[in-house]
Structure 1
Amino acid sequence: MPILSEPPRPDKTGPGQWMDPDAMPGTVFTVGGEMDTPGRFELDFHRHRKAQLLLFLRGVLTCEIDDGFWIVPPHSALWIPGETLHAIKVAGVLEGYVAFIDPAVTAHLPSTCCTLSATPLLRELLIRSASLPELYPEGGLESHLVALLLGEIAAAPVGNLHLPMPTDKRLRKIVDGMMANPADRGTIETWAKRAGLSERTLSRLLAQQTGMSFGRWRQQLSIMLALQGMAKGLSIQQVAANLGYESTASFVTMFRKALGVSPGRYMAERHARSVR
């Protein structure tokens, strides 16, 4: 397949046309795309029979399903099982690859949506698979490459860039408010009043639907938004300010306690792994 220079649109024909992944032949069908100027690409909630693996080398990917939300920085991959209702957004200067995988060969692959650590081998296999013809002969070199790709997906470590999402409409109102204005450091009492809930009810519902306390859930959201900001090139100081921290030091302390390393070290290690 060619590398697309713009996202596919349902109303367009020819290069960059909309593709139904379930109609494409082969065990694995991969398409690549790149845009050299900053942009934004969104697909509202949809599902397809085939599973998909998304890897962006440039740009930040976000994905939402009914009960989960992922922010995936460059050089991490996102796995979405077949028939999963999901919405995706990609922002920035974009370069990425998406592999659609027939459910007949996904038995040993993750059964739930998750991020995967993209090894250099996984990245190169995915890029190489994007150059395969739509119909490639079974049993040849192309089939061996696809088998290697599937094996590398199965072996990839699962990441921790997941945020459980509540389904209660009142809690989703709180989620929307936090994501729209992450610098708002309102207390649990403040957010409960805005949603028309008691503090106790908010805590109980959030624990039931996400398995997290209010403070732990908001911390995880802050970490994911921080990774998104740093992946876009923002400084640690800018990220801390955007998240409403009174000082950069307090943000760095929170980040280190949660992930075991400072924000700068985390991003440096990710970059080092991506170029090995």
Structure 2
Amino acid sequence: MPEICAHIFNNAELLNQHFDPDAIDAPIVPVYASFSNQTTSSLRSKMHRHHKGQLVYAKSGTGEIQLEGYSHVLLPNQMVWIPGGVMHQVILNHEVNFRAIYLDHTRFPQLSIQFDTFFVSPLLAEVIETICSSSFHTDWMAGTEFHLQSILIKEMHRSATTPQWPAFPKDKRLRDYLLKYYEQGHMLPRLNELAVHFGASERTLYRMFVQDTGMSYQKWRQRVRLILAIDMLATSKSITEIAHHLEFSTTSAFITFFKSYQNITPNKYRILSDPKATS
């Protein structure tokens, strides 16, 4: 299969016709592309699967990975691993600068057969950029390229796993409103503030969240709070600054909260994500 033009990733029909990662006889098939659409759209027109596993990394912008019976929000600085054979659909929101790496399970038997998400450290981001800038015809079993793919596989095993996003409420206005808060790095509003904005009662919103997400808004908000914390740990902000931004009464309260979900302190998570990081 010849090299493909990046613009076909903006056209689901063209992508279905001209790009099949399994038809490319290579252990690694890299994709470097930008997605631009006035609406939220799927890369392909329907759910699909391929024998190769797929890494998806949004360098900027957001999206959603839909699996059978489950969906996961794709965020910047996060890498998603979709094992080979898993039915899925990648949906991107408006403007997304993304990378994808297809990996042959037979060449890399150590790859996980479970869907997973990972924090993308600065080292991993550089490795992904370099690999995705390469040709389909690259020899990944020799020289510098061999070292690159070795680092990628090792980083997939050692990178700190990120918590998966909880399911979103089905109401599109509510979903878009909450996602906008996240994209701007702001702590989500409290339930009473949400009720005022949408002109609904707190009881109605509570029932909506329980029905659509399986949890109360308070629990849902706490899960997103954790994801915001992990995003901020990738910056130069101190643990105290992060605690203040996320509306914790004290730094120790934030540390206790973080450990209750991740079983390690925020600073330890930061070091696991980027060994060069300091507190």
TM-score category by the smaller chain?
0.5 to 0.7
**Identity level (%):** 17
TM alignment of 1:1-276, pairs within 5 A: 4-5=6-7, 7=9, 9=11, 11-12=13-14, 18-35=18-35, 39-42=39-42, 43=44, 44-137=46-139, 138-163=141-166, 178-181=169-172, 183=174, 226=178, 228-233=179-184, 235-236=186-187, 241=194, 254=219, 257-258=222-223, 265-272=229-236
Amino acid at match of 1:89: I
Instruction: Give the SS at the match of 2:170.
Output: helix
Structure 2 SS opposite 1:136 = coil
Q: Tell me how far 1:60 sits from its aligned partner.
A: 1.0
What whole-Å deviation, never above 9, does each CA across 1:146-174 have from its counterpart, x for those lacking one?
1211211122222211548xxxxxxxxxx
Deviates more, 1:44-53 or 1:263-272: 263-272
Query: For residues 166 and 189 of structure 2, what CA distance do their matches in structure 1 show?
Result: 22
SS at match of 1:77: strand
Distance 1:78 1:180 in 2: 25
Does structure 2 conserve the Cα–Cα contact (< 8 Å) formed by 1:10 and 1:18? no
Q: Which moved more, 1:33-42 or 1:124-133?
A: 33-42
**CA-CA distance at 1:39 after TM superposition:** 4.9
Counterpart position of 2:246: none
SS of match in other structure, 2:29? strand
Q: CA deviation at 1:139?
A: 1.7
AA at the equivalent of 2:21:
P
- Residue type matched to 2:103 in 1? I
Q: Secondary structure at the match of 1:104?
A: coil
Partners of 1:3 and 1:32 within 8 A in 2: no
Shift of 1:127: 0.8
Normalized per residue, the structure richer in strand is 1
Larger RCO: 1 or 2 (CA < 8 Å, sep 6+):
1
Instruction: Please state whether the residue corresponding to 1:159 is helix, strand or coil.
Output: coil
Q: Is the 8 A contact 2:165 2:223 kept in 1?
A: no
Q: Say if 2:182 and 2:228, in contact at 8 Å, map to a contact too.
A: no
- Please tell me the residue identity of whatever aligns with 1:180: D
Query: Do the aligned partners of residues 107 and 96 (structure 1) sit closer, same or farther apart at CA in structure 2, a change above 3 Å counting?
Result: same
Number of residue pairs matched?
218
Partners of 2:120 and 2:201 lie apart in 1 by 31
5+ residue gaps in structure 2? 203-215, 237-269
1:7-60 Cα distance to aligned partner (Å, 9 max, x none): 2536449xx983111012321111111246765330321000000000001111
CA contact (8 A) 1:58 1:92 kept: no
| Distance in 2 between residues matched to 1:92 and 1:3, nearest whole Å | 19
Q: Is the 8 A contact 1:12 1:18 kept in 2?
A: yes
- Measured in 2, the distance between the counterparts of 1:105 and 1:155 equals 20
TM-fit CA distance, 1:103: 1.1
Q: CA deviation at 1:232?
A: 3.3
Unaligned runs of 5+ in 1: 165-174, 184-221
What TM-score results when the alignment is normalised by the length of structure 2? 0.63
Contact 1:52–1:82 at 8 Å: present in 2 too?
yes
Distance in structure 1 (CA, Å) of the matches to 2:155 and 2:33 = 22
> Is the Cα–Cα contact under 8 Å of residues 8 and 18 in structure 1 kept in the other structure?
no
The alignment yields a C-alpha RMSD, in angstroms, of: 4.0
> CA 1:245–1:71 in 2, change beyond 3 Å: closer, same or farther?
farther
